[in-house]
Amino acid sequence: MLLIKCPVCGVEGDETEFHYGGEAHIRRPASHDPDNVSDEDQRDYLFIRRNPRGIHFERWKCARGCGKWFNAARDTLTLEFLACYDITEPAPDLKGSHAAEPRTPRRRARS
């Protein structure tokens, strides 16, 4: 069971009091340049995920508390929360994480 602390209202609870929102820091291409969104960009936005075995930057919602979304850094192997931070903040620079890299893959999945 995960124990989570909301960085907005400060309430602490287990995972049933929060709602998981998937990977954080995903940019919606249409918000930046609506006229030039390729099918590949849209695919990356909708489906491609880092899915790391290790530190994962992800979104959570304080569902039974203040109702606000926030971001968290969690290790997907130890299930340990390493940081909880505001939704507008950039990802913290944690050892072993890949968040600081831009989201441009070396090679795209295509068949």
Partner 1 sequence: MQKYSVFTLARNAVNFHKNWDRAWRSPEPKPAYDVIIIGAGGHGLATAYYLAKEHNITNVAVLEKGWLGGGNTGRNTTIVRSNYLQDESAAIYQLAHGLYEDLSQELNFNIMFSPRGLLMLCQTEHDLRVMTRNAHANRLFGIESRMITPREIKKMVPILNTSRDVRYPVLGALYQRRGGTARHDAVAWGYARMADYRGIDIIQNCEVTDIHVSRGRVTGVTTTRGRIKAAKVAIVTAGNTTRLTDMAGLRMPIESVALQALVSEPVKPVLNVVIMAHTVHGYMSQSDKGELVIGGGTDAYNNYSQRGSFPALQQTVTALVETFPIIGRLKMLRQWAGIVDMTGDRSPIISTTDIHGLFVNCGWGTGGFKSIPGSGFVFADTIANNRPHDIAAPFSLDRFVEGRLIDESAAAGVAH
The span from the CA of 64 to the CA of 72, in Å, is 17
Count CA atoms within 13 Å of residue 106 on its CB side. Answer: 1
Which part of the chain contacts partner 1 (CB under 8 A), choosing from 26-34, 50-58, 62-70, 81-89?
A: 50-58
CB 18 within 8 A of CB 1: no
The span from the CA of 39 to the CA of 3, in Å, is 39
Query: Which of the 8 DSSP states describes residue 41?
Result: H
CB 81 within 8 A of CB 73: yes
Which part of the chain contacts partner 1 (CB under 8 A), choosing from 26-34, 53-61, 62-70, 85-93?
A: 53-61
Which part of the chain contacts partner 1 (CB under 8 A), choosing from 5-13, 25-33, 49-57, 86-94?
A: 49-57
Minimum separation from the CB atom of position 90 to partner 1 (A): 20
Which residue from 3, 9, 12, 14 is in contact with partner 1, where contact means CB under 8 A?
A: 14
User: Which residues in this chain contact partner 1 in the complex, by CB under 8 A?
Assistant: 1-2, 14-16, 19-20, 22-23, 39-40, 43-44, 46-53, 56, 58, 74, 76-79, 105-111
